[in-house]
């Protein structure tokens, strides 16, 4: 088997029904297991972004990216490894308040992990921590003795380290293509 | 204001559609009601099974280069077109399927005849959309036609809820010409052209592989111009057949498992391969690890996801095949590759002397190759061959001869049995002036035999040749060669096909002996209307040459025991 590594894909698309299915079936066909996925709007009206992480090899992933881009409603897909991006996930922890308050070093624990308290009720306390998976997991381990009732993670979000904003470039190219199409009735038909 | 159903009909007409294939049902009845008002502008062909509708639409699209249109009802109606959608996806065939859907307020409730059409069809279509409002219909139709017919063509689905059909709108249809997330005609990179020309000009043993893309882009002339300028031998894929006339000296034949020896064997000798509009299917490459080891490969394709997908290539030209060839040819230096060309001919001579001679022998029972060759001769190599799948397909493709483009319609990527008969109906309707010959097996014929009813109803003058070997021959061949002759579930007990046709009012006859074949063929061809010719075929006949699974393109079987060796002097 070729060398496996964790890849992050970002997929920019029109915001339409069934888009996620169109993307996920490409993984299904190749029997690739998606590690995590997050979806959100972008700053550009109407354009959505998926961030997907998956363990695979580069050759396979390059083919996957091309097949994703081939879907009509997909604008552009980018393939990254961890070196190319700054990435983060958010974790929420719902812990028993009483147990937490018995902890002598609660303050230092929270400080040490850079966590925040979002809500406290007599029953439970909600903590939040942003970081990389190993960091959010480290906090989870420390909180376990106090009874973690729920633990959720957002899945990865990322920005690229590259100084070039490739999506914007792509959109500009398409605008020029659009102008050319309507100036020249013969092109693109 | 008009209804969504009427808007759909008008938008189809506005997209230039004058023929649709379909089958009515509850969820599409408003559309059928409106079709009734527009019969003079939009002809509807009532098939006998929805699978027949989509294969007919494929046949129509393949011969006209325009999208074939299918209208079906929800649930089982649209489920019956799934085979055809995946077939059209594999073979880049533009088809627009319009399916009725339950009222939008029942979506997701398992309402009567509801099925998740978009969910089912997304993996096997170029694009699929559910329409829930009447006002969205014109734009959806425009988008569907634009997507189906541009770039690398393919099937699209519009799933139209019943309330969108009955709702009202102000109809206005505008053709679509731009989608920002989809560029169907990429600009060819001049640097890629220069690079490719450089490689070709330095070649000693170049070869061109011509695929379906050549035909789709209408690049037959341009391909030939390039080939002739530099004296480059041309091989075609199954779907690329008829892009170059059979008798052109640079046409070295068909690639693949049952292709000709010249193009297969020489693939591994070539130092440069120019692949145009083809996708290195495994039936073409055979053992991929031993494919074209000496060649620098240049790949021209409109679909960049095909680059390096199956075979690693050294240079790519992303764009329409015709655009690419028009740009490339001026940079190609005239050359002569006489010796290299002769090597192909030598291989093919061995094939003629061994394989073809055995197939075209003049004793024993009739063979499929003979029938195909006789048909070609009797039609002056002008007819359109529509095959089914199996031995009949390979024999038809191999022994038929082609003089003009779009002369073969066959299910390549999917190998869909039952494709042939309805596809022949669609082809004949798309090109009434051409002779359309259906060439199918006794197995596949029975998969869509109900379409004899369509032929009867519309008097479609399809010339049907059924090759009756009383076996699922292709599978039987594999059983003979690789499963110790254990003929598990391949013998067929067949009905009297001529009597079946007769029941549909279609004349026909059965031929058992060679001596009667030519006269029967000319009776079929001269008959004004559909005709069925059943030919009793040698049961144990096999298709050769053959490159078995796992073998390389050089390891070619001439018959069950003998391997091809290059005839050195
Ligand atoms: C729908 C479908 N089912 C099964 C197959 C597998 N298959 C390929 S060829 C073949 C036999 C075809 O028999 P027949 O139609 O009699 O043609 P022949 O090979 O005898 O010419 C079969 C079963 C297929 N290609 N398509
Ligand atoms: Mg048979």
CATH of the domain at A108: 3.30.70.1150
| pLDDT > 80? residue B275 | yes
Tokens of B142: 């425009």
* Delimiting residues of CATH 3.40.50.1220 domain(s) in chain B: 190-344
**CB contact, 8 Å: A163 with chain B?**
no
Tell me which residue of B129, B127, B122, B73 sits closest to B102, measured CA to CA: B73
Question: Out of A105-114, B383-392, B403-412, which region has the weakest mean confidence (pLDDT)?
Answer: A105-114
* Delimiting residues of CATH 3.40.50.970 domain(s) in chain B: 2-169, 365-536
Residue A188 lies in a domain: no
Give me the pLDDT at residue A101, please: 86
Residue A179 lies in a domain: no
Give me the pLDDT at residue A185, please: 62
Q: What is the CATH class of B190-344?
A: alpha beta
Question: CA A168, CA A18: separation in Å to the nearest integer?
Answer: 24
Pocket test for ligand 1, best of B444, B445, B447 (most atoms within 8 A of CB): B444
Question: CA A39, CA A155: separation in Å to the nearest integer?
Answer: 9
Range of the domain at A142: 87-153
A107 falls in which pLDDT band (50, 70, 90)?
confident
Residue A137 lies in a domain: yes
How many CB atoms lie under 10 A from the CB of residue B36?
10
Q: What angle do CA B184, B188, B191 make, to 5 degrees?
A: 155
**CB contact, 8 Å: B130 with chain A?**
yes
Give me the pLDDT at residue A188, please: 45
Q: Taking CB atoms and an 8 Å cutoff, what residues of chain B touch A72?
A: 126-127, 147, 179, 181-182
Cβ-contact B276, B211 below 8 angstroms? yes
Mean pLDDT computed over B25-32 = 98
Mean pLDDT computed over A40-69 = 95
Interface predicted TM-score (ipTM): 0.93
Residue A102 lies in a domain: yes
A105 falls in which pLDDT band (50, 70, 90)?
confident
**Which atom belonging to ligand 1 lies closest to the Cα atom of B442?**
16
The verdict on the CB of residue B473 being under 6 Å from ligand 1 is: yes
Own/partner pairs, B31-37, CB within 8 angstroms, 24+ separation: B31/B5, B31/B71, B31/B98, B31/B100, B31/B160, B31/B165, B32/B71, B33/B5, B34/B3, B34/B5, B34/B6, B34/B8, B34/B9, B35/B9, B35/B71, B37/B6, B37/B9
A189 falls in which pLDDT band (50, 70, 90)?
very low
Residue A165 lies in a domain: no
Q: How far is the CA of B239 from the centre of ligand 2 (A)?
A: 22
Question: CA B163, CA B161: separation in Å to the nearest integer?
Answer: 6
CATH number 3.40.50.970 given to B365-536: yes
Q: Taking CB atoms and an 8 Å cutoff, what residues of chain A touch B123?
A: 25, 29
Number of H helices, E strands in chain A: 6, 9
| pLDDT > 90? residue B152 | yes
Cβ-contact B427, B436 below 8 angstroms? yes
Question: CA B551, CA B98: separation in Å to the nearest integer?
Answer: 43
Give me the pLDDT at residue A76, please: 97
Q: What is the DSSP string of B93-157?
A: --EEEEEEE--GGGTTTT-TT---HHHHHGGGSSEEEEE-SGGGHHHHHHHHHHHHHSSS--EEE
Give me the pLDDT at residue A108, please: 87
Which element (helix H / strand E) includes B90? helix B82-90
The verdict on the CB of residue B369 being under 6 Å from ligand 1 is: no
Mean pLDDT computed over B535-555 = 97
Q: What pTM was estimated for this model as a whole?
A: 0.96
Query: pLDDT tens across A115-169, in order?
Result: 999 999 999 999 999 999 999 999 999 999 888 999 999 999 999 999 888 999 9
B2-169: CATH number: 3.40.50.970
Neighbouring residues of B528: CB distance < 8 A, sequence distance ≥ 6: B461
Question: CA B54, CA B73: separation in Å to the nearest integer?
Answer: 13
| pLDDT > 90? residue A2 | no
Which DSSP category does B243 fall into? S
Question: CA B296, CA B308: separation in Å to the nearest integer?
Answer: 13
B261 falls in which pLDDT band (50, 70, 90)?
very high
How many CB atoms lie under 10 A from the CB of residue B202?
12
Sort B565 into a burial class: Cβ within 10 Å, 0-12 / 13-18 / 19+.
exposed
Tokens of A30: 């190749």
Domains in chain A, number: 1
Whether the upstream peptide bond of residue B545 has omega within 30° of 0, thus cis, is yes
Question: CA B356, CA B76: separation in Å to the nearest integer?
Answer: 45
Mean pLDDT computed over B327-345 = 98
Mean pLDDT computed over B153-157 = 98
Mean pLDDT of chain B: 97
The residue in chain A having the minimum alpha-carbon distance to the alpha carbon of residue B302 is A70
SS3 per residue for B374-438: HHHHHCCCCCEEEECCCHHHHHHHHHCCCCCCCCEECCCCCCCCCCHHHHHHHHHHHCCCCCEEE
Cβ-contact B169, B163 below 8 angstroms? no
Mean pLDDT computed over B59-81 = 98
Q: Is B150's CB within 8 Å of A188's CB?
A: yes
The verdict on the CB of residue B222 being under 6 Å from ligand 1 is: no
Cβ-contact B4, B168 below 8 angstroms? yes
Mean pLDDT computed over B204-215 = 98
**CB contact, 8 Å: B126 with chain A?**
yes
Collapsed DSSP state (helix, strand, coil) of residue A78: strand
Give me the pLDDT at residue B37, please: 98
**CB contact, 8 Å: A57 with chain B?**
no
Question: Out of A146-150, B7-11, B172-176, B352-356, which region has the weakest mean confidence (pLDDT)?
Answer: A146-150
| pLDDT > 80? residue A187 | no
């Amino acid at each position: 088997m070729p060398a496996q590594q964790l890849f992050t894909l970002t997929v920019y698309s029109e915001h339409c029904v069934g888009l996620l299915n169109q993307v996920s079936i490409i993984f299904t066909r190749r029997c690739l297991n998606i590690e995590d996925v997050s979806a959100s709007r972008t700053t550009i009206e109407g354009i959505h972004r998926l961030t997907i992480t998956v363990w695979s090899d580069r050759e396979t992933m390059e083919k996957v990216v091309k097949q994703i881009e081939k879907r009509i409603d997909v604008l552009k897909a980018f393939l990254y490894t961890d070196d190319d991006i700054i990435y983060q996930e958010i974790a929420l922890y719902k812990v028993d308040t009483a147990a937490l308050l018995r902890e002598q070093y609660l303050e230092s624990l929270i400080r040490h992990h850079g966590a925040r308290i979002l809500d406290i009720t007599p029953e439970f306390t909600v903590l939040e921590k942003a970081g990389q998976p190993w960091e959010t997991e480290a906090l989870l381990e420390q909180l376990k003795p106090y009874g973690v009732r729920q633990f959720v993670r957002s899945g990865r979000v990322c920005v690229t380290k590259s100084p070039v904003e490739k999506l914007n470039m792509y959109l500009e190219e398409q605008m020029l293509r659009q102008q050319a199409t309507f100036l020249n009735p013969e092109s693109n038909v | 204001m008009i209804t969504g159903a009427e808007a759909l009909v008008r938008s189809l007409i506005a997209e230039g559609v004058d023929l649709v294939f379909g089958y009515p049902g509850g969820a599409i009845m408003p559309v059928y009601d409106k079709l009734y008002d527009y019969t003079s502008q939009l002809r509807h062909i009532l098939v006998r099974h929805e699978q027949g509708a989509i294969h007919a639409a494929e046949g129509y699209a393949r011969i006209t280069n325009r999208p074939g249109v299918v209208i079906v009802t929800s649930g089982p109606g649209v489920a019956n077109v799934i085979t055809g959608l995946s077939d059209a996806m594999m073979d880049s065939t533009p088809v627009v399927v319009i399916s009725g859907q339950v009222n939008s307020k029942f979506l997701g409730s398992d309402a009567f005849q509801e099925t998740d059409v978009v969910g089912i069809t997304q993996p096997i279509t170029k694009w699929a959309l559910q329409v829930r409002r009447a006002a969205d219909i014109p734009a959806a139709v425009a988008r569907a036609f634009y997507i189906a017919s541009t770039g690398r063509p393919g099937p699209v689905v519009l799933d139209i809820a019943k309330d969108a059909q009955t709702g009202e709108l102000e109809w206005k249809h505008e053709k679509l010409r731009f989608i920002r997330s989809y560029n169907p005609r990429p600009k060819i990179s001049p640097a890629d052209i220069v690079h490719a020309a450089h490689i070709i000009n330095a070649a000693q043993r170049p070869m061109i592989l011509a695929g379906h893309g050549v035909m789709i882009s209408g690049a037959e002339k341009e391909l030939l111009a390039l080939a002739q300028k530099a004296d480059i031998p041309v091989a075609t894929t199954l779907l690329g057949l008829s892009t170059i006339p059979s008798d052109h000296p640079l046409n070295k034949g068909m690639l693949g498992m049952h292709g000709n020896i010249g193009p297969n064997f020489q693939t591994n000798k070539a130092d440069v391969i120019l692949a145009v509009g083809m996708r290195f299917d495994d039936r073409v490459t055979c053992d991929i690890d031993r494919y074209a080891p000496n060649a620098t490969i240049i790949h021209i394709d409109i679909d960049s996801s095909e680059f390096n997908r199956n075979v690693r290539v050294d240079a790519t030209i992303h764009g329409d095949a015709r655009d690419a060839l028009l740009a490339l040819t001026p940079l190609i230096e005239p050359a002569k590759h006489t010796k290299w060309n002769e090597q192909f001919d030598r291989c093919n001579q061995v094939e003629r002397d061994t394989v073809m001679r055995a197939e075209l022998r003049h004793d024993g029972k009739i063979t499929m190759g003979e029938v195909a060759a006789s048909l070609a001769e009797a039609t002056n190599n002008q007819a359109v061959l529509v095959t089914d799948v199996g031995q009949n397909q390979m024999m038809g493709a191999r022994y038929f001869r082609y003089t003009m483009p779009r002369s073969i319609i066959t299910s390549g990527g999917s190998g869909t049995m039952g494709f042939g008969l309805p596809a022949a109906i669609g082809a004949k309707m798309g090109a009434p002036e051409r002779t359309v010959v259906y060439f199918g097996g006794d197995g596949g014929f029975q998969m869509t035999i109900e379409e004899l009813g369509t032929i009867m109803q519309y008097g479609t003058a399809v010339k049907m040749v059924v090759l009756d070997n009383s076996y699922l021959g292709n599978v039987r061949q594999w059983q003979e060669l690789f499963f110790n002759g254990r003929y598990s579930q391949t013998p067929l007990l067949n009905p009297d096909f001529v009597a079946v046709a007769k029941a549909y009012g279609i004349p026909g006859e059965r031929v058992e002996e060679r001596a009667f074949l030519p006269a029967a063929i000319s009776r079929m061809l001269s008959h004004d209307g559909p005709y069925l010719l059943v030919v009793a075929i040698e049961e144990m006949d096999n298709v050769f040459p053959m490159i078995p699974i796992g073998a390389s393109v050089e390891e070619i079987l001439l018959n069950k025991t003998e391997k091809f060796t290059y005839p050195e002097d």
